[in-house]
Structure 1
Amino acid sequence: MGFARCSGILMPLSSLPGGYGIGSMGAPARKFVDFLAAAGQTIWQILPVGPTGYADSPYQSCSAFAGNPYFIDLDQLVKDGLLTRRDFAKIHWGGDAAHIDYGTLYEKRFDVLRKAYANFLKQRPVPGYDTPYPDDWYRFQFLSCEWLPDYCLYMAIKRDNGMVDWQQWPEALRLRDPAALAAFKEEHAEEVGFWAFVQYEFDRQWRALHAYAKSKGVSIMGDIPIYVAADSADAWAGRELFETDADGKPRRVAGCPPDYFAADGQLWGNPLYDWDYHRRTGYAWWIRRIRHALFIYDILRIDHFRGFDTYWAIPAGESTARNGRWENGPGMDLFRTLHNALGELPIVAEDLGEMFDSVRQLLADSGFPGMKVLQFAFTGEDSVDLPHNYPRNCVAYPGTHDNNTLAGWFGEELTPEYRQQAREYFALNKAEGELRGMLRGVMASTAALAIIPMADWLEEPSASRMNTPGVAQGNWQWRVDEKKLTPALAREIKAMTVRYFRAPATRK
């Protein structure tokens, strides 16, 4: 795909302002869409919206298809008559409005959602009660039939077993004995139904938010991890998809070798795909996954794109990623199959990390725009991440969710020598502001799409960093201060957007 010259803002749903402990799909999300439109931005990039998993990471989800229950807006449930404010008014969601308290959310949010479910059940069509479930309840279940039943059953069994990893479940359930699954489902029908209800409410609210964004001229760029979590409905229900033994345990796991981010590499622990199986089945699971993603997003960023060319395979049980080895992925065979099944693929390839010529060739053959990151540029060499080297078909960033904020990087990570190089390269000055000058450089670049993290427009310090790769704790917590999203800031962003011909009315 190719972008018309445009720009957008990276802002995770979780980082939106508002009450109840975490950003949601409610009124603050619509206000942020309004901010984007006022700022002349046509792309809203978000992080994965699946349920967060290990270390609260959206890249370690228990489902490749489900939505995060935390993002369901409680105020909307009140408007829908499924809750009253008394149901959650006295709940303390955490002591710091600028950071997400995931422990509190885990302990308290589901109790509130269960109250909403109890009220939803009162709509059950029974003798003498005329109101059936809403029509879109049946529509949602029909459209989600390829993944929803397994996800709901997985969550119900998981809760019945104290939320332990599915590898620790009773053998009959772990190995998916049909009789055991049928008996469990019958005995726990209401619990299974609860998880379907949660996904239904997520779907309803997401579709409403997505439609609102479209009405304002804002497209949503979603994000999917290349891998699924080891403890996931996908791994439990689809063991044939992965490199696993007879018990469903991974033989090898995913990660990446030592690099800029981590001296020991990154040991992600995700099960690796059995690519031979996927080829034999015509990549049917991948077609379902990408179709689902493109149903909810306008543009799709695929994390760790280089893993489709060559991927780092680490023997299960290793304590670091050092002892892995490179293996060949499916390459263009996958993307030709996806294109034949789904048509044009509006995909952005996250092509960061250690690059081989074969990865570069895969990117070129796919036609997908790759990524250029300013924070990787200043090394004393003529880096591909310096704006004068950007191809038009790319997405330019000052930094991603895995980088420090621009302020933290410039002030704390750059050596004095490279900081001076940046000053000279961008002609930085105090009148404009050094951080604004670097954002100018990204916006003025030849890249078709420029994406600026909201934290960088706000010049947030390192404490607002979203994620530090290789560090398990303290990530994914930043939330924006709503008072900083001012009309004046929107006007400033729009002025730079117009100046560099990225606003809709100025595109050539």
Structure 2
Amino acid sequence: MPNLLSQRRRSGILAHISSLPSPYGIGDIGHSSHRFLEFLAKSGQSCWQFLPFNPTNPLFDNSPYMSVAAFAGSPLLISPDLLKQSGLVSAKSLDHNYDFSPFQADYTASWNFKKDLLAEAFTNFEVESNMAFQLFCDRHRWLEDYALFMVLKEQHTNRGWFQWPRMLAARDESTLKKHYLKHKERILYYKFEQFIFTEQWKQLRSLATDLDILLFGDIPIYVGLDSVDVWANQDIYDLDPDTFLPNKVSGVPPDYFSETGQRWGNPLYNWSSESVEVRKQLEDWWVDRFSNVFEFVDIARIDHFRAFESYWAIPAENDTAVDGDWVKGPGAGFFKKIQRRLGELNIIAEDLGIITQEVIDLRDKLELPGMKVLQFAFDGNPDNSFLPYNYNTSNCVVYTGTHDNETTVGWFLNHQLNDDLRKTIKELANRTLHDDSGIHNDLMYLALSSIGCLTIFPLQDALGFGNDCRMNSPGVPEGNWGWRCIDEYLSEELSISLRARTKLFGRYSESKPKSEIQAEMAKK
């Protein structure tokens, strides 16, 4: 796969799919995403970054980083309009009495609406005669475990798999076969959901390609304990064989975001297993995971990349992440094996937090772009590596902030900054402290003018919004992932402004959409 980021300078927007405007309580991969891609193209942007699009768990605040399935797409993001367009639901079925907020994603109400639509669509779908569906099921071997897992979750009132009867939790073969036969129709339904998600995504990706926009995905390094990934692959995780619970869990020690660290609670991989078979299973699982992700995206960020060098292991009984140990990860050898099997992949290393020289050496040995977040640049140290004038390579992605940060406006007004730092920040953008240009514009200016091969702005920063529009507060268990944008915010004025700045700093492509080029050629 060619190194897409080395081809030319680019600029893009970070906005999760759930945040996009739609009449159904949450953004989706149909018209919501299509309109956003068209907005990006008009605005001179050539990259759209979003968060993981896997199924979320309401028990974990619907965090996209705590999914029940690393290979599956979220049915919540399926487009009702495209279901109607494909003839699977009626126009009348799209009418609803839900009072959806245009400003906040309503996961519960949206799902209550969409699950009825999907049930209707499944009823109208010709399962037996649809060859595309049969080929999809044959090609994606993870579907068998996923569909059965989702059915068993239903049968056990959504309890974690480790709380199921032991023969099910331990995956006794005859017990699984019995349940598979008993719930065959419901298992087909869950396969159907994933087929529809994938078919709708193909349309989205085709439009993105047509508009010369790269789709930029996200790979959380860990998976949730209550996931099909752990249930179906127990040997590759550090679990107690009697309770099926982790011996140690994931997280990070105290850092910028939290004085007590972050205890994420995910099970850890058995990277150091003495079993050759387990190590081979781990490699195979990651090969399958990368293959799956790159069916959907052009570029992917590995969240918490540093764990491939060493990771923070917290005793499972601990309530915080203060006490733990750094344990060696699989290192460069792991990636070399992946590359031998899959070729070069367009991967971004999320290299934030407590980063040692060993992590930097691993990133550089693999020649992966890292991340430069401007909100981390201004601590009074002129040698700060996040300051644009200190960048020593263009092989990096420059952010004003990420989904885990405050918005840039909220950060600038935060009491943690003093007026001296605020003055320095404005001066670096050739501004004065009291001008009214907007700090979000100043940081976007610094990012765009840097040598970084790609600049990414959260949509909230492009709009100049405050912390009431923040996407996530790390360490805060509730109230995240809900912000939504309305159509009026994606204005012509914003589009013109973004396009002008993108052109100014050589990040704008004048190339026409492929469909337009093909139409012109057809006329000749």
TM bin (shorter chain): over 0.9
SS at match of 2:455: strand
CA shift in 2, pair 1:108/1:318, >3 Å: farther
Does residue 235 of structure 1 match 2:238?
no
Amino acid at match of 2:256: Y
The answer for the alignment partner of 2:380 in structure 1 is: 380
Q: Tell me, which stretches of 5 or more residues in structure 2 are unaligned? A: 512-524
Q: Would you say the 8 A contact 1:93–1:105 is kept in 2? A: no
Distance apart, 1:280 and its partner CA: 4.2
Q: C-alpha distance in 1, partners of 2:395/2:147?
A: 40
Which residue of structure 1 lines up, in the alignment, with residue 198 of structure 2?
203
Is the CA contact 1:428–1:438 (under 8 Å) kept in the aligned structure 2? no
1:66 aligns with: 72
Give the Cα–Cα distance (whole angstroms) in 2 for the partners of residues 494 and 488 of structure 1. 10
Matches of 1:241 and 1:10, distance apart in 2: 33
Deviation sequence 1:229-260 (CA, Å, 0-9, x none)? 00000010100110112132211110000000
Corresponding residue of 2:517: none
Q: Which amino acid aligns with 2:86?
A: D
Instruction: Pick one of 495, 501, 507 that aligns with 1:496.
Output: 501
Give yes or no for contact 1:282–1:337 (8 Å, CA) kept in 2.
Answer: no
Residue 52 of structure 1 is matched in structure 2 by 56
> Is residue 419 of structure 2 the alignment partner of residue 416 of structure 1?
yes
**Could you tell me which of 247, 263, 271 is aligned with 2:267?**
271
> Does residue 1:325 correspond to 2:330, yes or no?
no
* Residue 480 of structure 1, CA deviation: 0.6
Letter in 2 for 1:151: Y
The aligned residue for residue 129 of structure 1 is none
1:290 maps to a residue whose letter is F
**Does structure 1 residue 15 correspond to structure 2 residue 11?**
no
**Contact 1:93–1:101 (Cα < 8 Å) also in 2:** no
Q: Would the alpha carbon gap of residues 165 and 116 (structure 1) be closer, same or farther in structure 2, given more than 3 Å must change?
A: same
Structure 1 letter corresponding to 2:169: R
Q: Deviations over 1:301-359 (max 9, x none)?
A: 11000010010001112111111110000010111111111111100000001011100
Are 1:426 and 1:438, in contact at CA under 8 Å, matched by a contact in 2? yes
- Any stretches of 5+ residues in structure 1 without a counterpart? 126-131
Match of 1:223 in 2: 218
Tell me the amino acid that sits aligned with residue 119 of structure 1. N
Pair 1:338-2:341 in alignment: no
RMSD: 1.5
In structure 2, the CA distance between the partners of 1:491 and 1:295, relative to structure 1 (3 Å rule), is same
Question: 2:121 & 2:282 partners in 1: Cα distance?
Answer: 41
Aligned-residue offset at 1:78: 1.1
| Mapped partners of 1:280, 1:56: distance in 2 | 32
SS at match of 1:182: helix
Q: Is the 8 A contact 1:428 1:434 kept in 2?
A: no
Instruction: Pick one of 178, 184, 188 that aligns with 1:189.
Output: 184
Q: 1:120-144 deviations in whole A, cap 9, x for unaligned? A: 2xx245xxxxxx22x2212211221
Give the equivalent residue in structure 2 for 1:403.
405
Task: Name the SS for the 1:275 alignment partner.
Answer: coil
Distance across 2 between alignment mates of 1:34 and 1:88: 24
**What CA distance in whole angstroms lies between the structure 1 residues aligned with 2:136 and 2:460?**
35
The 5 Å alignment of 1:75-224 reads 75-92=81-98, 94=100, 96-120=101-125, 123-125=126-128, 132-133=129-130, 135-145=131-141, 147-224=142-219
Q: What SS class does the counterpart of residue 52 from structure 1 fall into?
A: coil
Maintained 8 Å contact 2:42/2:495? yes
Tell me the amino acid that sits aligned with residue 80 of structure 2. Answer: L
Q: Secondary structure at the match of 2:372?
A: strand
- Which residue number in structure 1 is paired with residue 394 of structure 2? 392
Q: Secondary structure at the match of 1:378?
A: coil
Within 2, Cα distance between the matches of 1:480 and 1:244?
A: 41
CA distance in 2, matches of 1:69, 1:82: 15
Other-structure match for 1:40: 44
SS at 1:504 equivalent: coil
Contact 1:22 1:71 in 2 (8 A): yes
Counterpart selection for 2:455 from 425, 450, 453: 450
CA distance, structure 2, for counterparts of residue 399 and residue 60 of structure 1? 22
Distance 1:285 1:475, change over 3 A: same
Q: How does 1:427-446 map to 2 (within 5 A)?
A: 427-429=430-432, 430=435, 432-446=437-451
Looking at structure 2, the residues matched to 225 and 415 of structure 1 have their Cα atoms a distance apart, in angstroms, of: 34
2:481 to 476, 481, 490: 476
Summarize the Cα distance change of 1:308–1:157 in structure 2 as closer, same or farther, 3 Å threshold: same
Structure 1 position 6, deviation (Å): 1.1
Question: Letter of the aligned partner of 2:202 in structure 1?
Answer: R
The one-letter amino acid paired with 1:502 is: R
Measured after TM superposition, the shift of residue 281 of structure 1 is 4.5
The 3 A distance-change label for structure 1 pair 124 and 64 is: closer
Q: 1:199 to 1:124 in 2, by over 3 A?
A: closer
Q: Do 2:49 and 2:216's aligned partners in 1 also have CA atoms closer than 8 Å?
A: yes
Q: Distance in 2 between matches of 1:26 and 1:294?
A: 20
Once the two structures are TM-superposed, the CA of residue 12 in structure 1 deviates from its matched residue by 0.7
Structure-2-length-normalised TM-score = 0.92
1:282–1:201 CA distance, 2 compared to 1 (3 A): closer
Structure 2 CA distance for aligned equivalents of residues 320 and 106 of structure 1? 33
Superposed displacement of residue 91, structure 1? 3.7
Structure 2 residue identity aligned to 1:426: A
Match of 1:128 in 2: none
- Counting matched residue pairs gives 495
CA distance, structure 2, for counterparts of residue 494 and residue 209 of structure 1: 22
Specify the SS of the correspondent of 2:34: helix
Report if the CA contact (8 A) 1:49-1:58 is conserved: yes
Aligned counterparts of 2:282 and 2:234: Cα–Cα separation in 1: 17
2:20 equivalent to 1:25: no
Offset, 1:29: 1.0
Tell me, in whole angstroms, the C-alpha distance in 1 between the residues paired with 2:439 and 2:354.
30
Q: Give the corresponding residue for 2:514.
A: none
- CA distance, structure 2, for counterparts of residue 48 and residue 330 of structure 1: 23
1:392-425 CA-to-partner distances (Å, cap 9, x unmatched) read: 1100000000001111111225222321221222
Q: Which amino acid is 1:401 matched to?
A: H
**Aligned match of 2:247 in 251, 271, 274?**
251
CA–CA distance in structure 2, aligned partners of residues 79 and 282 of structure 1:
41
Give the letter aligned to residue 236 of structure 1: W
C-alpha separation in 1, matches of 2:468 and 2:436:
25
Distance in 1 (alpha carbons) for counterparts of 2:154 and 2:282:
34
**Which secondary structure does the structure 1 equivalent of 2:61 belong to?**
helix
